[in-house]
């Protein structure tokens, strides 16, 4: 989900840094709230309370799995976590087994609520099963193109609804994309929210493949951004445009 807001100055000091262990709960909450209204989540998890629990637990799993890669960044406002970006380094789609194990232990108390939506999710998946194979094959080809060579994967990006419009998503993107340009690396992502692609185009991403019919989703966009030796001009254009969008959630397909 991505929302448009009128520009306003940050309420305090904004800092972008690597995720720390004491940030885990706050970062998981930001991801859960950011993805709460994402189209796919609403279809698979129609009950808001169940959706919040599943998303929060899933966020803990992902953060625990990837944190030790050192490529999970948070944006804070006066020390409060307001945005999260999870990047998978080139050739590394997962993090440490230790991090995953700790996250699984934390998820055990929530298992009854996590299992509650299984019948509904199963019925949705069965309903769209004829489209599943073409979708998986099309996505696989698109991802192969988007992730070719030295490429970072932006797996998740979310900002808290309380901190949108303050430039946190932009700060999170700029931090890693600057590194990509310095290293000559590409970046790629997937999103199922039709609001997102125009926003990411402002950061240099281009759509590799748009799958218009993506089962229960409104669509699937696979995007790539190639490194550029000179991004200063693009940065200046964004400054002049006074970009007023903050990414609420970037939802990847499972993969």
Percent of the chain at pLDDT > 90 equals: 40
pTM of the model: 0.76
**Domain extents in the chain:** 2-247
Side-chain half-sphere exposure of 40, counting CA atoms within 13 A: 21
| Most confident segment among 6-10, 128-132, 185-189 | 185-189
Q: What's the pLDDT tens digit per position in 229-245?
A: 665 445 544 444 433 33
Is it the case that residue 169 has pLDDT exceeding 80? Answer: yes
Tell me the Ramachandran region of residue 16: left when phi exceeds 0, alpha when psi lies from -120 to 50, beta otherwise: beta
Q: What is the mean pLDDT of the chain?
A: 76
- Which pLDDT band, with edges at 50, 70 and 90, does 218 fall under? confident
**Span 111-129, pLDDT tens digits:** 455 445 554 445 544 454 5
For 88, residues 6+ apart whose C-beta sits below 8 A from its C-beta are: 66, 69, 71, 94, 152, 153, 155
Q: Which CATH class is domain 2-247?
A: alpha beta
Phi, psi for residue 172 in degrees, rounded to 5? -65, -45
Length of the chain: 255
């Amino acid at each position: 989900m991505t929302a448009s807001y009128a520009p306003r100055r940050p309420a305090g000091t904004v800092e972008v840094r690597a995720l720390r262990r004491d940030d885990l709960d706050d970062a998981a909450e930001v991801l859960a709230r950011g993805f709460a209204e994402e189209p796919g989540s609403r279809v698979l998890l129609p009950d808001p309370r169940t959706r919040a629990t599943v998303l929060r637990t899933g966020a803990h799993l992902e953060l625990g799995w990837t944190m030790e890669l050192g490529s999970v960044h948070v944006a804070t406002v006066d020390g409060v976590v307001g945005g999260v970006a999870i990047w998978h380094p080139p050739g590394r789609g997962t993090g440490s087994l230790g991090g995953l194990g700790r996250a699984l232990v934390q998820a055990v108390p929530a298992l009854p609520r996590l299992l509650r939506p299984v019948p509904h999710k199963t019925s949705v998946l069965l309903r769209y099963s004829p489209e599943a194979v073409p979708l998986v094959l099309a996505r696989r080809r698109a991802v192969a193109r988007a992730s070719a060579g030295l490429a970072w994967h932006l797996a998740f990006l979310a900002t808290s609804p309380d901190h949108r419009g303050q430039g946190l998503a932009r700060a999170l993107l700029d931090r890693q994309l600057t590194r990509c340009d310095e290293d000559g690396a590409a970046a790629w992502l997937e999103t199922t929210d039709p609001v997102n692609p125009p926003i990411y185009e402002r950061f240099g991403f281009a759509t590799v493949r748009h799958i218009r019919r993506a089962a229960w989703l409104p669509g699937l966009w696979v995007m790539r951004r190639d490194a550029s030796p000179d991004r200063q001009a693009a940065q200046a254009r964004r400054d002049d445009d006074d970009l007023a969008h903050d990414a609420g959630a970037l939802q990847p397909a499972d993969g």
